Amino acid sequence: MSYNSSKKVNSEPSFSVESSLALWYTEWDSIYHNADARRGDHMADGKNYYSIGKVSTLCNVPIKTLRYYDKIGLLVPEYRKCDSNYRYYTQDQILTLFIIRKLKHLGIPLKEISQIVCQRDAVSMGACIRERLFEISKVIESLNNQCAEGQLLLDRLEKGHNILETEQSNWSTEGIRVEEIPFGNVLFTRRLKKNYKNSDVSVDRWFELFEMVTQQKLRMAGPVILTYHNSPLEQFFKTDCDLEICIQINETREDLPEFKQFGGFKAVTALHIGRNDEIIQTHIKAIKWLNQQGYSVAGPISEEYIISPVDINNEENHITKIIIPIS
């Protein structure tokens, strides 16, 4: 049984409000003091003013965006020509625009940016940024989980494809082997299944398990495994079945009653390719083979779903690994 893990993106970005503000103003200083072309128009009041076009070029903000900021009151030009309605900004307003641009890049809403700009307070800015960074970290965590689950599915599909390419056409008892089943952390449910039919693979219990993993904020790290706590082959002939379903998870959670470890034993394994209502034939072959090799069944038989009904709906390509503990 092989389980893969994906590389994680760092979900706890390091951040210092003071160092970031210093970086922003350093970047601005290098831009602002860089050429005579940056110099604004000198007005009668002694201030240097910058046209909307110069501000757009200097701060790399579209003119359309500057007009919108003016409209909503976020950054209203200090001077406006009466005859032409041309907008002019002061140096302080350009500094403010630079801060707006940085906060917007972090995904902070304009309404909150407006409050920060009005308050001119590093403490309130820091609180807003920390809240935003927390939101970003949750998004990163969710993306990490999506990536890991996608990689897990891809690995199983590729494994299944390789099996179909190499073993489906020449299946025989030569495909049965002895393996050491490694330990793995799992969440499980176990209870009596009334009116059990092996052909339906109890998908309702699968979804119950998936929901349990989600509620505990865990991540699936392997395929679903069904274990039959009955005598060998009994699940095919009795109406009630003592059925356990488990799935490997990415953490040790001994605080949960549904947590345990699966594996740590020697087993005879066999691959069943195709419809689940025909899997009894593979069970019989495997049990016959282990008896011929001088082994005995030493525990409940399990089925690991490499390619399952919840992965693809083509039954002929479903792949199940039968695991029979032996002594």
Which of the residue ranges 38-52, 132-146, 193-207, 304-318 has the most confident prediction, judged by mean pLDDT? 132-146
User: What's the whole-number mean pLDDT along residues 61-73?
Assistant: 94
Task: Give the CA distances from residue 61 to residues 56, 58, 228, in Å, rounded to whole numbers and listed in that order.
Answer: 5, 8, 65
Q: Which residues pair with 179 in a beta bridge?
A: 267
Angle at 97 between CA 94 and CA 98, to 5 degrees: 90
How high is the pLDDT of residue 42? Answer: 53
Instruction: Find the helix or strand (DSSP H, E) in which 294 lies.
Output: none
Tell which CATH architecture fits domain 171-325: Alpha-Beta Barrel (3.20)
- Per-residue pLDDT band for 248 (boundaries 50, 70, 90) equals very high
The percentage of residues in the chain with a pLDDT greater than 70, rounded to a whole number, is 83
> Is the per-residue pLDDT at 109 higher than 60?
yes
Distance, CA of 217 to CA of 255 (rounded, Å)? 14
The percentage of residues in the chain with a pLDDT greater than 90, rounded to a whole number, is 52
Distance, CA of 56 to CA of 38 (rounded, Å)? 12
- Dig out the tokens for 222 from the structure: 């392997």
Tens digit of pLDDT for each residue in 29-39? 554 444 344 45
Q: In what order do the strands lie in the sheet with 41-42?
A: 41-42, 48-51, 87-89, 79-80
303 CB neighbour count, 10 Å cutoff: 24
How high is the pLDDT of residue 119? Answer: 87
Spans of all domains in the chain: 17-135, 171-325
Query: Under CATH, what is the fold of the domain 17-135?
Result: Multidrug-efflux Transporter Regulator; Chain: A; Domain 2 (1.10.1660)
> Is the per-residue pLDDT at 46 higher than 60?
no
- Per-residue pLDDT band for 41 (boundaries 50, 70, 90) equals low
DSSP string, 110-172: HHHHHHHHHHT-HHHHHHHHHHHHHHHHHHHHHHHHHHHHHHHHHHHHHHHHHHHHHHSTT-S
Name which residue leads in pLDDT, 82 or 261: 261
User: What's the whole-number mean pLDDT along residues 246-267?
Assistant: 94
Domains 17-135 and 171-325 fall in the same CATH topology = no
DSSP string, 187-241: EEEEEEETT--GGGTTHHHHHHHHHHHHHTT--EEEEEEEEE-SSTTGGGT-S-E
* Cβ-based neighbours of 183, under 8 Å, separated by 6 or more: 261, 262, 263, 264
CB 270 within 8 A of CB 263: no
Distance, CA of 186 to CA of 262 (rounded, Å)? 7
How high is the pLDDT of residue 35? Answer: 36
How high is the pLDDT of residue 4? Answer: 44
> Is the per-residue pLDDT at 75 higher than 80?
yes
Distance, CA of 178 to CA of 114 (rounded, Å)? 68
Distance, CA of 86 to CA of 247 (rounded, Å)? 66
How high is the pLDDT of residue 51? Answer: 92
Tens digit of pLDDT for each residue in 267-322? 999 999 888 888 999 999 999 999 999 999 999 999 999 988 888 888 888 899 99
Start-to-end Cα distance in the chain: 19
How high is the pLDDT of residue 193? Answer: 86
How high is the pLDDT of residue 6? Answer: 43
* Cβ-based neighbours of 249, under 8 Å, separated by 6 or more: 185, 186, 187, 213, 218, 219, 220, 221, 259
> Is the per-residue pLDDT at 15 higher than 70?
no
Tens digit of pLDDT for each residue in 139-189? 998 899 889 889 988 988 888 888 887 755 444 445 799 999 999 999 999
Among the residue ranges 119-123, 207-211, 281-285, the one predicted with the least confidence is 119-123
User: What's the whole-number mean pLDDT along residues 66-75?
Assistant: 94
Per DSSP, 9 falls in state P
User: What's the whole-number mean pLDDT along residues 110-120?
Assistant: 91
* Cβ-based neighbours of 227, under 8 Å, separated by 6 or more: 190, 243, 244, 245, 246, 300, 301, 302, 303
Mean of per-residue pLDDT scores for the chain = 83
- Among all chains, which residue has been given the structure tokens 């505990």? 216
Distance, CA of 77 to CA of 66 (rounded, Å)? 9
